[in-house]
Structure 1
Amino acid sequence: MTLYRDKVSPELRAAARHIGRRRFLTATGAAAALAFATDLPGSAQAAEPAARRITEDPFTLGVASGDPLPASVLLWTRLAPRPYETGSGLPPARIQLRWEIAHDDRFRRTVRRGNVTAHPEFDHSVHVEAGGLAPDRVYYYRFSAGSWISPTGRTRTAPGPKANITELRLGAVSCQAYHDGYFTAYQHLAAEDLDVVVHLGDYLYEYAVNATGGARAYTDRLLPAHFNRETVTLEDYRLRYALYKSDPDLRAAHAAHPFVVTWDDHETENNYAGEIPENDVPPEEFLIRRAAAYRAYWENQPLRKPQQPAGHDMRLYRRLHFGRLAQFDILDTRQYRSNQAYGDGWQQPGPESEDPSRTMTGETQERWLLDGWRQSGAQWNLVPQQVTFAQRRNVPTPDFKLSMDAWDGYPASRKRILDGAAAAGIENLMVLTGDVHVGYGFDLKKDFDDPASPTVGTEIVATSVSSGKDGADKPANWSNLTSANPHMKFYNGRRGYAVVTLTADRARADFRTVSAVTTPGAPIGTAASFVTESGDPGLKPA
């Protein structure tokens, strides 16, 4: 979204672009070459001696798991004894790690173990596809390198494909700007009883973080100066992930639950569209930046081998199943989209935005989604994705504007998706969304311009973890938006997350919020709860 663009003066942005471009072109030859390489490890030094030479805790960034399948789960860690330094305080050598997964958190009943090599080419991150596991089971896992042992993580496999499970509980999170406040929501999310967490994008922000951590206003320490610039190079993005993952609440959430992640724009650059950057830079320069951002994203997330990027391309859309109860179709609405109409921002709709050739997903991903629905036997079909799907007029008058960065800027693409769901017989459609730093609950309409049009699904928009700072229960535009959009059933501007509980009969959405993020330790509460009944789409107060 464009919120932060308005917070920085044009003069500072121009200076940052000038400095960023010069630094990009003069100091990043190696990073650019690495970003466009084959992504295969090179010839580094031997592994075992490097592991024995580690004298500081290398597991400062914690552990994570993700993309659970019935017989396997992805385990992740990244070695970083000095996470705020380039190279993380490690030699450019392969380092041998051991991993183990057990039924209990004391590892008395280990079920799988093995070795994995952390390569310097991947910033000493590892992705272990731990297989041979039982479906729908809780497991505990950890890593070790030399004499060092990682924190213990807890994960869970998915149910079998034909399992008739009675309940699935998921957390939905998005938008965690480090400089806007503490990740208190993650402290509470870690304590929730969940099967999986879905991260809907903006895991990090490319904007500068000053020495005192922005709104965190540190008084007991100072962050290194290299964080106080926009991320452009591979080194920049790697260091920024280290900063974010050094947050204890984020580490706790990853250790508590398996994550299913997808990106939005800020993991690369605000409001980019496909190969088109936000700012006026040469396309080849942006693609090098995109390659660096995509590589760092894969290195720092619990993603499987098919998601490993090749240069500036990375297939992030994918499908997961949770028994007969739920199918997740995780979308990527950044990499393949048409450029925003009318120069982006909030604009009146017209021929440019309503051009039927415009796409949010690209033709291949759109076909993949619709084909997957035709083959789905799930009770609930969930679509984790990035930007607001429902129509969202800004005022209740004929001169309304719509966000050109959201699906409102791509109405023909949205119509193809909804028509495809109807053609596939999808009765229980739920879209999960991030991006906008507020919580929304929408009824999805066959025709958004007709309030009496049939409701064909629901959309749950998870508010931000910290982006936008403390927020408010009723933001300044609350009256306008709720009046202009009768299908909007909920709007709240506090920070937090959503919890969605699925059963065969209904889905329940709890909007969980904290009172503040500019100071640590705020309590959690529930702003509102809604249900949608199976076969009868539409949100009703719980």
Structure 2
Amino acid sequence: MDRRRFLQWGSFLTVSVATTGLAGCGSDDAPATPGSPAAPDAKTDGTAPFAFAQGVASGDPKPDSIVLWTRVGGADGKQAVPVTLQVSATADFAALLVNTKLSALPDWDYTVRNKVTGLAAATTYYYRFVAGNVASPVGRTRTAPAPGTPLAQLKFAFITCQDWSVNHWAGMEELAAQDLDFVIHLGDYIYETVGATFQTGKVESRHGQLKLPDGTARADGARYATTVGDYRYLYRSYRSDARLQALHARFPVIAIWDDHEFSDDCWQDHQVYSADDDQTPRTARRRGASQAWFEYMPADVSIDLANPSFRNIQIYRAFTFGQLATLVMTDERLYRADHVIPEQAAGSEIGSRYFVPKATLSTLEARKINAAGNALTPVSLLGDAQRGWWQEQMRAAATTWKLWGNEVSLLRMQLDGVQAVAGMVAAALAGANAALAPLQPAMTAALAADLAAAKADGSYPHPAYAALKAVLAGAGIDGATFDAALRGQIDAQLPNAALLDQYLLNADQWDGYNAERKSLMAFLKAQGIANVVALTGDIHAIFAGPVMDDYDAATPAPVMVDLVTAGLSSNSFHSYFKSVVDSDPAFSAARALVYTMQNGAMVNTFNSTLKAFNPWLKLVDTDAQGYAVVTLTTTRLSCTFHKLKPLVAGSAPALPATASTLTVEVQAGTAAVNVV
């Protein structure tokens, strides 16, 4: 590596020290009249003016520092652009705490990231960048309170899943108008795929179609980002939206990535678009995705491009806010092991990542742990080093609350196929014959016994219905009447026998890494660590509930709480399951478990299905887009989930964009969720 390249890499995350004078570090040649930058007319060479088309941003607030970001457009792609950063304690920039010269380099897509140190804790600052005669928009940011400082309250939002090509971004505009200390972004800041089936249809007209400069075609006609140029294009495009710019300019953002910043449902440097896709590492693609994230996120992390590994960046990190909260942000993609049931073993993502037989997963997980000498390494989501770091952060936290920025849900989401089908058929019988309605619970139990027996003896899908006949005999329906009038009707409702099992709905979440989840919960219990609350995204739905020490125990005990927000702009969790039961004959008979039609309108039954088999789910809305706002005090955590209005005729709804809210509370000292 030559000296010039080393200096460019080394200087990308620059550091400035705030002062009390009129100029900061390195400001010998600051622009004239720094308080009033010249109008953006033209550069001195007569070419088009520089521009700040992606706005400004700040992130990772510490008591004495903040990271400030921008990107300079209008350069020639070869030469560095001199940029001046100005920071002030007042919006008019009358006195500058920082007035320092930086360089926007083509090696880093002309992005600038500068860490300002020497700031006062719990203080609001204003910042802007100047390139040539052009000033950027003004950003506002705020440092964190010093550790141990008594705080009456902390208020912040957490968001996730903002697909450019699905639904709308009015929620960002609504968030930018609120009074928050900071925003947590839990990943899926971009979506690496364009033109996918799930991205076609309803999207706001102001978001034009994306076209990757390189990209790789998938079998379904979609294209996915492959090069660093592709990922940079996506970040530039997403940041071109004024609403996302306004959110970044208003609040410091603490961000982590999930999967789509690289590849859907990825693990380490492996993609899983097809059953055998992850047999080949995609190291160059992973490194390009990581570099683009590093360039465009105002995060206090470093990257080593001289390191050929795909793990040349570490983004897990922690923050402290007075005596009130510790925030631990984890990376749940770069270190995770392959899914316990590989895609090639299952034949597709069904059976590997989605709708996974619980017993099969448990058996294979135990086998892998045993082969590794009882180590969690081959079944870990965090990886050994990060898991140890997480434990130490939780153990050492001296704050009332321990918040966990956690990408994928910790809450068990399971389905007992036998019980679910029995309940579905019993409900249909009761609905068709009012005289049978009082017998619905008994019919459900009888049908479950009959279905299990039929599966065991091979007579399914034509059970003998001995238990059901006995129940119906009490209602005056004898065997002959049952055979003539009801048997065929019931048989027609029965799904594929494969559904008659116990399933985990999503093994890409913590359900697929159950042994490590149990280990983390056991650590919290053994150490007596209370008031742990996970802030989660990824699944495009709203969930809230306690995380149990062992979901398979006879009496699971709550250890912590998980709060899951819906995607800000994504297809809902419900929509994916609706698509499956509508298109896959193997699951079509189970449609009533996902939705029914009443008077021409769709009724979501998926919420009640999930709650029936997962009693720890205290709040469920599987068909939502939105965001969450948390108000934290020493005695209570209050979380309000905002459910957004739908897109109308290609336009985002006028403010307020919120259609409804759902609020839950967690009292200090308890691992319980109360729905308000």
> Which residue, 427, 435, 447 being the options, matches 2:550?
447
Return the alpha-carbon distance in structure 1 between the equivalents of residues 624 and 409 of structure 2.
Answer: 17
Return the alpha-carbon distance in structure 1 between the equivalents of residues 246 and 501 of structure 2.
Answer: 47
Shift of residue 209 of structure 1? 4.6
Q: Given the superposition, is the C-alpha separation of residues 189 and 292 from structure 1 closer, same or farther in structure 2, using an over 3 Å criterion?
A: same
1:373·1:424 contact (CA, 8 Å) conserved in 2?
no
Q: Which residues in structure 2 correspond to 1:168-247 (within 5 Å)?
A: 168-209=154-195, 215-216=202-203, 218=205, 226=213, 229-247=223-241
> Which residue, 296, 299, 304 being the options, matches 1:303?
299
2:224 counterpart SS class? coil
Return the alpha-carbon distance in structure 2 between the equivalents of residues 261 and 56 of structure 1.
Answer: 31
Return the alpha-carbon distance in structure 1 between the equivalents of residues 270 and 250 of structure 2.
Answer: 37
- Partner in structure 2 of residue 480 of structure 1: 609
Shift of residue 416 of structure 1? 1.3
- Partner in structure 2 of residue 250 of structure 1: 244
- Partner in structure 2 of residue 24 of structure 1: none
Bigger shift: residues 98-107 or 117-126 = 98-107
Return the alpha-carbon distance in structure 1 between the equivalents of residues 108 and 169 of structure 2.
Answer: 27
Return the alpha-carbon distance in structure 2 between the equivalents of residues 353 and 74 of structure 1.
Answer: 41
Q: Say yes or no: does 1:276 pair with 2:408.
A: no
- Partner in structure 2 of residue 333 of structure 1: 332
Shift of residue 434 of structure 1? 0.7
> Which residue, 427, 430, 435 being the options, matches 2:533?
430
- Partner in structure 2 of residue 508 of structure 1: 638
Task: Report the AA paired with residue 506 of structure 1.
Answer: R
2:189 counterpart SS class? coil
- Partner in structure 1 of residue 219 of structure 2: none
2:43·2:49 contact (CA, 8 Å) conserved in 1?
no
Q: Which residues in structure 2 correspond to 1:93-132 (within 5 Å)?
A: 93-132=79-118
Return the alpha-carbon distance in structure 2 between the equivalents of residues 282 and 494 of structure 1.
Answer: 31
1:511 counterpart SS class? strand
Return the alpha-carbon distance in structure 2 between the equivalents of residues 277 and 370 of structure 1.
Answer: 29
1:181·1:519 contact (CA, 8 Å) conserved in 2?
no
> Which residue, 389, 395, 399 being the options, matches 2:501?
399
- Partner in structure 2 of residue 533 of structure 1: 667
- Partner in structure 1 of residue 372 of structure 2: none
- Identical columns (%): 29
Return the alpha-carbon distance in structure 1 between the equivalents of residues 520 and 642 of structure 2.
Answer: 29
- Partner in structure 1 of residue 436 of structure 2: none
Q: TM-score, normalised by structure 2?
A: 0.69
Q: Given the superposition, is the C-alpha separation of residues 483 and 195 from structure 1 closer, same or farther in structure 2, using an over 3 Å criterion?
A: same
- Partner in structure 2 of residue 352 of structure 1: 364
- Partner in structure 2 of residue 91 of structure 1: 77
Q: Which residues in structure 2 correspond to 1:347-386 (within 5 Å)?
A: 347-349=356-358, 350=360, 351-354=363-366, 355-356=368-369, 357=376, 358-386=379-407
Q: Given the superposition, is the C-alpha separation of residues 382 and 470 from structure 1 closer, same or farther in structure 2, using an over 3 Å criterion?
A: closer
Shift of residue 275 of structure 1? 3.0
Return the alpha-carbon distance in structure 1 between the equivalents of residues 206 and 402 of structure 2.
Answer: 47
- Partner in structure 2 of residue 6 of structure 1: none
Shift of residue 72 of structure 1? 0.7
Return the alpha-carbon distance in structure 1 between the equivalents of residues 322 and 109 of structure 2.
Answer: 36
Q: Given the superposition, is the C-alpha separation of residues 60 and 220 from structure 1 closer, same or farther in structure 2, using an over 3 Å criterion?
A: closer
Q: CA offsets, 1:204-227, max 9 Å, x none? A: 1111159x9963363897665748
Q: Say yes or no: does 1:467 pair with 2:467.
A: no
Task: Report the AA paired with residue 449 of structure 1.
Answer: D
Q: Say yes or no: does 1:147 pair with 2:133.
A: yes
1:532·1:540 contact (CA, 8 Å) conserved in 2?
yes
1:395·1:481 contact (CA, 8 Å) conserved in 2?
no
Return the alpha-carbon distance in structure 1 between the equivalents of residues 202 and 212 of structure 2.
Answer: 17
Shift of residue 323 of structure 1? 1.1
Query: RMSD of aligned C-alpha atoms?
Result: 3.0
- Partner in structure 2 of residue 11 of structure 1: none
Task: Report the AA paired with residue 110 of structure 1.
Answer: L
Shift of residue 110 of structure 1? 2.9
Return the alpha-carbon distance in structure 1 between the equivalents of residues 261 and 212 of structure 2.
Answer: 20
Shift of residue 489 of structure 1? 0.9
2:390 counterpart SS class? helix
Bigger shift: residues 164-173 or 440-449 = 440-449
Shift of residue 51 of structure 1? 7.0
Q: CA offsets, 1:213-248, max 9 Å, x none? A: 963363897665748832101111110111111111
2:641 counterpart SS class? strand
Bigger shift: residues 224-233 or 399-408 = 224-233
Return the alpha-carbon distance in structure 2 between the equivalents of residues 222 and 330 of structure 1.
Answer: 32
Return the alpha-carbon distance in structure 2 between the equivalents of residues 121 and 213 of structure 1.
Answer: 34
Q: CA offsets, 1:426-483, max 9 Å, x none? A: 1101011111111111211222235843321111111101110797897552121111
Return the alpha-carbon distance in structure 2 between the equivalents of residues 128 and 160 of structure 1.
Answer: 21
Q: Say yes or no: does 1:420 pair with 2:523.
A: yes
Q: Given the superposition, is the C-alpha separation of residues 307 and 535 from structure 1 closer, same or farther in structure 2, using an over 3 Å criterion?
A: farther
In the alignment, structure 1 segments of 5+ residues that lack a partner are: 1-32, 82-88
1:204·1:266 contact (CA, 8 Å) conserved in 2?
yes
Return the alpha-carbon distance in structure 1 between the equivalents of residues 604 and 538 of structure 2.
Answer: 16
Bigger shift: residues 122-131 or 281-290 = 281-290
2:629 counterpart SS class? strand
Return the alpha-carbon distance in structure 1 between the equivalents of residues 541 and 572 of structure 2.
Answer: 11
2:194 counterpart SS class? coil
1:433·1:459 contact (CA, 8 Å) conserved in 2?
yes
- Partner in structure 2 of residue 520 of structure 1: 652
Return the alpha-carbon distance in structure 2 between the equivalents of residues 407 and 481 of structure 1.
Answer: 17
Shift of residue 70 of structure 1? 0.2
1:419 counterpart SS class? helix
Q: Which residues in structure 2 correspond to 1:485-496 (within 5 Å)?
A: 485-492=614-621, 493-496=623-626
Return the alpha-carbon distance in structure 1 between the equivalents of residues 212 and 247 of structure 2.
Answer: 28
Q: Given the superposition, is the C-alpha separation of residues 108 and 208 from structure 1 closer, same or farther in structure 2, using an over 3 Å criterion?
A: same
Task: Report the AA paired with residue 514 of structure 1.
Answer: L
Return the alpha-carbon distance in structure 1 between the equivalents of residues 95 and 63 of structure 2.
Answer: 20
Shift of residue 277 of structure 1? 2.2
1:438·1:462 contact (CA, 8 Å) conserved in 2?
yes
Q: Given the superposition, is the C-alpha separation of residues 96 and 483 from structure 1 closer, same or farther in structure 2, using an over 3 Å criterion?
A: same
1:432·1:461 contact (CA, 8 Å) conserved in 2?
yes
Considering only CA atoms, is the larger Rg found in Structure 1 or Structure 2? Answer: 2
Return the alpha-carbon distance in structure 2 between the equivalents of residues 308 and 240 of structure 1.
Answer: 22
- Partner in structure 2 of residue 60 of structure 1: 53
Q: Given the superposition, is the C-alpha separation of residues 441 and 149 from structure 1 closer, same or farther in structure 2, using an over 3 Å criterion?
A: same
Q: Which residues in structure 2 correspond to 1:46-57 (within 5 Å)?
A: 52-53=44-45, 55-57=48-50
Return the alpha-carbon distance in structure 2 between the equivalents of residues 438 and 415 of structure 1.
Answer: 24
Return the alpha-carbon distance in structure 1 between the equivalents of residues 134 and 519 of structure 2.
Answer: 52
Return the alpha-carbon distance in structure 2 between the equivalents of residues 258 and 183 of structure 1.
Answer: 19
Q: Given the superposition, is the C-alpha separation of residues 196 and 104 from structure 1 closer, same or farther in structure 2, using an over 3 Å criterion?
A: same
